[in-house]
Chain A
Amino acid sequence: MKANRKTGLVFFPAFDWAISKTHPEREERLLYTQDQVFEEGILDIEGLVEFNPSLATEKDVERVHFCVPKVDAVLTESHYISAGGCKTVADAVLGGEVDCGFALVRPPGHHAMRVVHGARGFCNINIEAIMVEHIRQTYGVDRVAIVDTDCHHGDGTQNIYWHDPDTLFISLHQDGRTLYPGSGFTSEMGGPNALGTTVNIPLPPETSKEGFLYVMDRVVLPILDEFKPELVINSAGQDNHYSDPITGMRFCAQGYAKLTEKLQPHIAVLEGGYSIEGALPYVNVGIILALAGIDYSWVREPDYDPEELRQSDEIRSTISSTCERLLEERQQCASKRKKYLEGDEFVQRSKTIIYDTDKILEEQKEMIRVCGGCAGVLKIDSYADTGRHLLGISVPRKACSTCQDIGRQWFEEGSIRRFDLVCLQDRVADAYEVKRK
């Protein structure tokens, strides 16, 4: 047996790490997946290469996040390994050692936003974003698409790339009115400098294979074609599965494999998925085979019954009208952008962020410079009920000189009498500067 596409795997179940003993994110989450992967003999297949994860560095993290009070305070070893595992796969793909790769790592990351006061949705740091920025820094890749197929809205990834016109973020998820984190509606399309590069497709509970694949064909693949990314990343959460204990969808292993085959991601990264016996072993095998271009037609759950999982007409029509509305709303991005350019130089938004895992509440004020020459300099004033107060300034990777100057000025003006820490994330210089109380 031989892989049609050379596929790199980092398989790191972290058997000695858990949020708590009965938390869904616990030691044996990937145990049965490992059993299935080992038993199928997948690691013996020619063209499938297994790597040990490397460790991400503080610098990798600071390219993406403002960690409060500092990186080491909000991360454990498991997070450095999880993000490092993604980097290892990325290096194998970008270095040409393999054609594509899958980082089967935990803990996940797609709920981690740019500012990190603690863990939310089981995530501390955004492992995909850390990987993507590592890729950009090391290999000079510019346009990247991240397609998030976890059942929960990838609000962390959306937050990080909200203002970045070079990163297309597409999330398919269970409707935010019915599930954590309660966001991800079609109207969320990106900041003033990046309108249209955030795409949200909320799906009704009980959406099945048919619905997911319809959305792929109708929305995801056409938008990808139009964006022309150099690299496609899949946040491959597996909690859309019909047996998942914390969600309400009806997706299956065959569906995940088919979706992967259609998407053909360069790199897939495991996100959620908590049906550790009934779903993960089969879904992961399906994804690995689909990535490698090997026949996956025999992969199915022991209790799989396509009749029982059939999608109702009502769900079908809800999905189709969501897709049409989305495509229509996208038409208006250009005119909205024009209005922004004609309007105020700075645009503000405020929001409240809940860290459900660590029980923290954060109040955020964000200001972006509307810029015709770059992604715009960003300023975040963040106060958490831990008592910590951050001023974070982010100068984007391809910032124009005006935005760079403004960023520097904001950083210098930021007073450590008012803030506990003032940080400048300078992506032009690939540097991170901090002033502390």
Chain B
Amino acid sequence: MIVGLDVGGTHTDVVVLQGKEIVCKVKILTDHENLLDTVCFGIFEATRDFKPQSIKRLVVSTTLATNAIVQGKTEPVGILVASGPGINPNGFAIGEHYYPVSGAIDHRGKEIASINEEEILEIGKKLESSNVRNLALVSKFSVRNPSLELKMRHLLADNFDTVTLGHEVSGQLNFVRRIATAYLNAAVAGISRNFYEAVRGCMEHQSMQTPLEILKADGGTMTQESSTRYAVETILSGPAASVMGILAFADRTKEEVVLDIGGTTTDIAILVEGVPLLKPLGIRIGGYNTLVRALRTVSIGVGGDSWVRIEDNILKVGPERKGPALAYGGTEPTPTDALVTLGLVKGGDRQRAAQGMQRLAEQMGEGVEEAAETVISKTCDLILEAVQALVDRVNQMPVYTIHDLLEGRVIAPTGMVVIGGPAKELAPHLQDRSGWPVQVPPDYEVANAIGAAVARTTCQVTVLADTDRRYVYAPEEGHMDIIDWRARTEDVVKIAFRLLRQKALRLGADEDDLEMELLEDYEFNIVEGFYTVGRNIRVKAQVKPGLIRPYREAAV
């Protein structure tokens, strides 16, 4: 049996799966002030009828890191930043203990200025006296050469609880995002460690021996042990949980749109042959752009409880929510009221809903039912416009080769899978207005918890080789080795897959679930004068987001 738990804004959902069957569903209220109780109680409620030994996997998706960051309840972080030449680093200040320091690495990974040890030690002392316990150490181009970050760690690590190094949070180029990502990781590392250790404690208390796994923003999982080093990767895992839950019902031969229609917002994602698209660089949170791998989801302010009104003779839906639907005691009409008025949703106060529609109908000069139809159409159209905008943005992603520009893949979805409160009722309307077949999967109201339960471990590696300087380097792994001067792309790809496999297994992956793929491979000559002196080879590979084995095969 496997267990999935997803902490949502209002409810926390837990499911227990036996094979492909849901043997237990639990929905409890989320207590944001005491998330630990919510999670532990959820696990307890869902599993108490089963033998602890029969639980083989337990995955949680929580709002812990997200809430800490958004509400500013993180721990103080001392951040040392070696920028070297470029944009003035004072513009990137983050937190209250931000220190630009000397030292520089260039784009080929050459150390062009070393750090000043005294300067670093001095800052270390200052941080200690301010009671800062977490450190983030970042240099520009550390994904080409980590030497400055490693030296800083060597000088400071002993006196701090957690240390986050820039090159370990991501292999991508983007110094500003690296600063933010390392900072946020350090800011939630201690909180995460304490929290997940406590959850693990609850599980042990119930005699559950299975390791605890945690869902990340890219729809993959990692083990509790890794969650300190990669704490920031657990932010915004909620939308990812829903998408992963839908994956089991997606058509692996098509491009499809996934919608999670909630009360206030609708989340949109795109699946290509059953694999969700990822954000190009990383997710944005609390005003910061990061390098945290995440599913490419877009949230728009249209949902079942969106405020519906006429403004300047135009029908408006959302983005504001003024409370629940009239039918459920609210004060303003909503799309849900339109559904209730038409009898599509049973339950709630139909008379109140109809009164709301009547008000709109008068302003629009239509009949009540006609007005309700118009509200539903408008709601669907807003969602479909946002879908189109997302598809367009994906197709307009910058490319850098003639081949990609002229022959690059164009995404053109031909179907839709919809979950969320009003999914069932809106589905036929969405189908009408888009012309795409629309599916509503069974148990869609707990798709998020199912998603957490069945998501596989994901990860990514970046490997760079410079055969002129004879080295190969995988920043996220801290792996540095010498390489033969004759090495070509295929040799570097082999190294990448080997490292990826090791990393995935370390993060808790099952041998059977290593669906690895090459994301990128470039090979450039390094020419000095008019002679080729070596090659600059760049490879990225990932274990793609997907489902663990039995569920993968269940897919349509």
Contact = CB atoms under 8 A, between A and B. Distances in A.
B173 A39 contact: yes
A78 B400 contact: no
B107 A44 contact: no
A245 B402 CA distance: 27
A381 interface: no
Given A16-B403, A28-B536, A36-B86, A302 B175 contact: no
A251 interface: no
Contact of B140 (A39, A44, A301): A39
A220 interface: no
Contacts of B402: 14, 16-17, 77-78, 81
B89 interface: yes
A190 B137 CA distance: 58
A52 B175 contact: no
Contacts of A13: 400
A285 B526 CA distance: 22
Contacts of B401: 14-16
B104 interface: yes
B85 A299 contact: yes
A250 B400 CA distance: 31
A21 B532 CA distance: 8
A383 interface: no
Contacts of B398: 11, 50-52
B529 interface: yes
Contacts of B176: 1, 40-41, 44
A210 interface: no
A289 to B, nearest CB: 7
A282 interface: yes
Interface string B132-169: 00000000110000000000000000000000000000
User: What size tier do the contact residues of chain B reach?
Assistant: 35 or more
Interface stretch (A116-124, A290-298, A318-326): A290-298
A15 B522 contact: yes
B73 to A, nearest CB: 26
A277 B524 CA distance: 13
Contacts of B108: 32, 277
Interface in B107-140: 107-108, 112-113, 140
A52 B532 contact: no
A285 B106 CA distance: 14
A281 B399 CA distance: 19
A40 B87 contact: yes
Interface string A276-313: 01000110010001000011011111100000000000
A53 interface: yes
User: What size tier do the contact residues of chain A reach?
Assistant: 35 or more
Given A11-B398, A44-B289, A53-B405, A28 B525 contact: yes
B309 to A, nearest CB: 32
A35 interface: yes
A228 to B, nearest CB: 34
Interface in B508-556: 522, 524-527, 529-532, 536
A41 B177 CA distance: 7
A48 B460 CA distance: 28
B400 A12 contact: yes
B536 to A, nearest CB: 7
A14 B177 CA distance: 26
Contact of A39 (B174, B400, B524, B532): B174
A27 interface: yes
Interface string A19-53: 00110001110011011101111101000001111
A364 to B, nearest CB: 32
A281 B289 CA distance: 23
Interface in B398-427: 398-403, 405-406
B527 A26 contact: yes
Contacts of B175: 39-41
Nearest to A52: B398
B10 interface: no
A80 B175 CA distance: 33
B274 interface: no
A165 to B, nearest CB: 37
Given A39-B140, A277-B107, A299-B86, A27 B524 contact: yes
B88 interface: yes
A45 B115 CA distance: 28
A283 to B, nearest CB: 12
A301 B107 contact: no
Contacts of A28: 524-527, 536
Interface string B82-104: 01111111011000000000001
B498 to A, nearest CB: 25
B85 A302 contact: yes
A11 B400 CA distance: 8
A39 B522 CA distance: 18
A282 B527 CA distance: 19
Contacts of A27: 524-525
A1 B91 contact: yes
B87, B176, B525, B536, most chain A CB atoms within 10 A: B87
B91 A295 contact: yes
Contact of B87 (A11, A21, A31, A299): A299
Given A17-B402, A31-B536, A41-B174, A302 B524 contact: no
A53 to B, nearest CB: 7
B53 interface: no
B71 interface: no
Given A36-B107, A277-B107, A281-B107, A44 B174 contact: yes
B149 to A, nearest CB: 15
A285 B86 contact: yes
Interface in B455-513: none
A22 B107 contact: no
A77 B406 contact: yes
Contacts of B84: 302
B313 interface: no
Contacts of A300: 85
B253 interface: no
Nearest to A28: B524
B107, B140, B526, most chain A CB atoms within 10 A: B107
Contacts of B289: 41, 44
B396 interface: yes
A282 B88 CA distance: 13
A294 B405 CA distance: 30
A22 B531 contact: yes
Nearest to B92: A1
Interface in B301-331: none
Contacts of B88: 295, 297-298
B430 to A, nearest CB: 30
Contacts of B396: 52
B382 to A, nearest CB: 24
A344 to B, nearest CB: 49
Contacts of B92: 1
A34 B520 CA distance: 15
Nearest to B174: A41
Contacts of A39: 86, 107, 140-141, 173-175
Given A28-B536, A298-B87, A300-B85, A34 B174 contact: no
B538 to A, nearest CB: 9
A245 B177 contact: no
Contact of B85 (A16, A31, A41, A282): A282
11 contacts: A1-B176, A13-B400, A15-B400, A17-B402, A27-B525, A32-B107, A40-B87, A41-B175, A53-B405, A81-B405, A302-B84
Across the A-B interface, the 7 shortest Cβ-Cβ residue pairs: A41-B176, A28-B524, A302-B112, A38-B173, A35-B107, A39-B173, A16-B401
Interface of B: 83-89, 91-92, 104, 106-108, 112-113, 140-141, 173-177, 289, 396-403, 405-406, 522, 524-527, 529-532, 536
Given A41-B174, A78-B402, A245-B529, 15 more contacts: A14-B400, A14-B401, A22-B532, A28-B526, A28-B527, A34-B400, A39-B86, A40-B86, A41-B289, A44-B289, A50-B398, A52-B398, A52-B399, A277-B108, A300-B85
